[in-house]
Amino acid sequence: MTPFPRLALLMAGIAPIALAASPAFAATIDAPSRLQDVTVYPDAATVRRMLEIDIPAGEHELRIDDLPAMIDPASLRVEGEGSDRLVIGNVDLSSRARTGEAGKPETRQKLAALRRERDRLQDRIDAAEGKKQMIQRAGSGEGSQGKPLDPDQWMKAWDLVGKGLQGVNEEMRGLRDSLEKVEAEMAVLEQESARIAPRHDTARVAMIAVQASASLRAKLTLTYRVNAAGWRPVYDARLSTQSGQPQFEWVRRAMIRQQTGEDWANARVTLSTVMVRRGTQAPDLRGEKIAFWERPVPRSAPVPMSAAPVPEAMVAGQLRMDAARKEAPGSDRNVAAEEAQARMETGGFQTEFRLPGTVTLPSGMGERSVRLGADRPDIKLTLRSAPVLDPTAYLDVSFRAAGEAPILPGEVLLTRDGAFVGKGRVPLVAPGDQARLGFGADDRVTVRRVPVSRQAREPGLLGSTRTEDSQFRTVVKNLHAFPVEIHVEDRIPVSEDQAITVERLPEMTKPDLEAPDDRRGVVAWTLALKPQEERALVTAYRLRWPAAKEIRPLPLPR
């Protein structure tokens, strides 16, 4: 035996021993994952995926496919545990074009089966068409040798051809009907598949390097952040005045949206109040210098009077304070359905709402409304009016924010005595602070503001100052059969120039409040009106300024 065959046999015997003693070669292992938890912030979301997989001994790469394209690469984290020692190495994130058809897996499977059925039907139709052509050729009047048939054979040939064509035509009609049904079902599924297709035609692939000391079972958690998701607060405020004691319900809701390109199926969802993208630290403040300011040259055209702000849309309605309707004795009563709501958890710097059960939120399907909780705080009913802008008395409800969570800024849907009266907005209200909502107009309280007098005095021969006296009268009347409290506001000009002075006249009704909510130039009165009672308020002031100049009312900054 030559040395070469002997060497080949020796190597063949050594190779299995070396392979058995060394770790397994590096390989790529497909690791399917399932979405488990989603934490939604007002401007982003954090997704957590779970995967369990058997890993052979040695160094490998786990491939996690079909991740959304909008992942923030810096946010990708992998944690886990194994039945034996497991080391997680680097994590690479790459992009790839999506392959295959969009839509759900079951939809794709149905489409594939329907296409196969369509092809089978088309093959049968083609075979029937060929059969029909053969029958037509056989009925052309030629015998088996290509000679014309004798007249006594015509009747028999016609019967055979007619029966054959009739059978083939009936078979083709049935096949075409079946083909139309299959194509119609395919069109519906293709439309549904296109509707739920992800907005992005790319996907992310995560490659996780792992090293296992022995064959083991691993459980890994993959977390990442996406920006194309968020939630906003919406509130339901329900006021009932039909009983002797007004009832008020404050319902918190959340409108969740997500356009990440990834469907959140059967996920546990938590809503957090943390603003992820707002910033993490206070800005650096710089100093400023003071310098002379040159007043701009006025235009030649006269400066128009400052227009009053347009009042908000008046909501029609009437405040009813009728006695509670009593139920008829013996009437059947159904139990009202309860609406599932979230569990609130308050930490030192944030509040979280954990939605009950699991939630399915397809990508790009619009906003989903969920209930977070409800309170029934004590309220105070007051009427408010600013007749200089709008001579209407509006019903006002004030209450304290209950619980440990703040009221976030958002839209409020207002319902009064079962009727929807409009939408409002609520600012940020800290726990324990006062919140205030308007619930529409009260037509049984009238407010009228009319000018009483305006006197302008020109300077005399030796004078250099002009004077103008203004007086307004506001009349408030309660047409209800019960007492009401109304808060009335008016305004008096404010001077920021020493050459212009504002003086209140003795005829003016003394205000109960000056500059409410730090609004300079605003005065307010609070009136307790008995049924059918009428009260009058007088606003009177005097302006003085140099005769050589003109004055104009200008709005004060907010």
Tokens of 102: 């969009």
Q: For position 461, what pLDDT does the model report? A: 66
Q: What is the CATH number of the domain that holds 140?
A: 1.10.287
Distance CA 361, CA 47 (A): 13
**Residues, the chain:** 558
DSSP characters over 194-222: HHTS-S-SEEEEEEEEEEESSSEEEEEEE
Q: Are residues 368 and 466 in the same domain?
A: yes
- For residue 332, the model assigns a pLDDT of 54
Predicted confidence band at 315 (pLDDT cuts at 50, 70, 90)?
Answer: very low
Residue 53 belongs to a domain: yes
- Considering the domain architecture, whether residues 45 and 190 belong to the same structural domain is answered as no
Residue 330, pLDDT above cutoff 90: no
How far is the C-alpha of 333 from the C-alpha of 250, rounded, in Å?
Answer: 25
253/348 same-domain check: yes
- CA 510 to chain CA centroid, Å, is 48
Flag whether 552 is in a domain: no
Q: Which of 338, 210, 319, 228 is nearest to 277 (CA)?
A: 228
Residues 167, 130 within the same domain: yes
Model confidence at 399: pLDDT above 60: yes
Residue 347 token pair: 């930490």
Q: Is 133 exposed, middle or buried (0-12, 13-18, 19+ CB in 10 A)?
A: exposed
The answer to whether position 377 is within a domain reads yes
Considering 153-162, 234-243, 292-301, 307-316, the range whose residues carry the highest mean pLDDT is 234-243
Say how many domains are in the chain: 3
For residue 274, name the pLDDT band (cuts at 50, 70, 90): confident
Q: Are residues 56 and 177 in the same domain?
A: no
Residues 497-515: pLDDT tens digits?
Answer: 888 999 999 999 999 999 9
For residues 131 and 153, membership in a common domain is answered with: yes
Instruction: Evaluate whether residue 447 is within a structural domain.
Output: yes
Burial bucket for residue 328 (CB in 10 Å: 0-12, 13-18, 19+): exposed
pLDDT value of residue 167: 80
Same domain flag for 217 and 191: no
Measured in whole angstroms, the distance separating CA 339 from the mean position of its chain's CA atoms is 19
Per-residue model confidence as pLDDT tens digits over 85-114: 999 988 888 887 755 445 566 777 787 888
CA pair distance 316, 380, nearest whole angstrom: 22
This prediction has a pTM of 0.62
Neighbours of 230 (CB within 10 A): 21
Same domain, 268 and 154: no
In a domain, 281, yes or no: no
Q: 148 pLDDT band (50/70/90 cuts)?
A: low
Is a pLDDT exceeding 50 seen at residue 517?
yes
Comparing CA positions, the residue from 332, 59, 57 lying closest to residue 214 is 57
AA identity, residue 208: I
Tokens of 19: 């392979």
pLDDT of 427-484, one tens digit each? Answer: 999 888 999 999 999 999 999 999 999 888 887 666 788 999 999 999 999 999 889 9
**Cβ atoms within 10 Å, residue 459:** 13
Q: Which of 96, 47, 102, 104 is nearest to 204 (CA)?
A: 96
> Could you tell me if 365 and 474 lie in one domain?
yes
What is the distance, to the nearest Å, from the Cα of residue 248 to the centroid of all Cα atoms in its chain? 26
- Quote the pLDDT of residue 524: 95
Angle of CA points 122, 126, 129, to nearest 5°? 135
Mean pLDDT, residues 349-368: 84
Q: What is the mean pLDDT of the chain?
A: 79
Residues 471, 542: Cα–Cα separation, whole Å: 9
Residues 249 and 350 placed together within one structural domain of the fold: yes
| Residue 329: inside a domain | no
Under DSSP, the state recorded for 244 is: S
How confident is the model at residue 196, as a pLDDT? 56
Same domain for 439 and 457?
yes
Are 170 and 76 members of one domain?
A: no
Nearest to 467 by CA among 552, 550, 542: 542
What is the domain range of residue 271?
Answer: 230-276+313-322+341-546
User: Which residues lie closer than 8 Å to 166 by C-beta, 6 or more apart?
Assistant: none
Report pLDDT digits (tens) over 26-65.
688 888 888 999 999 998 999 999 999 999 999 999 998 8
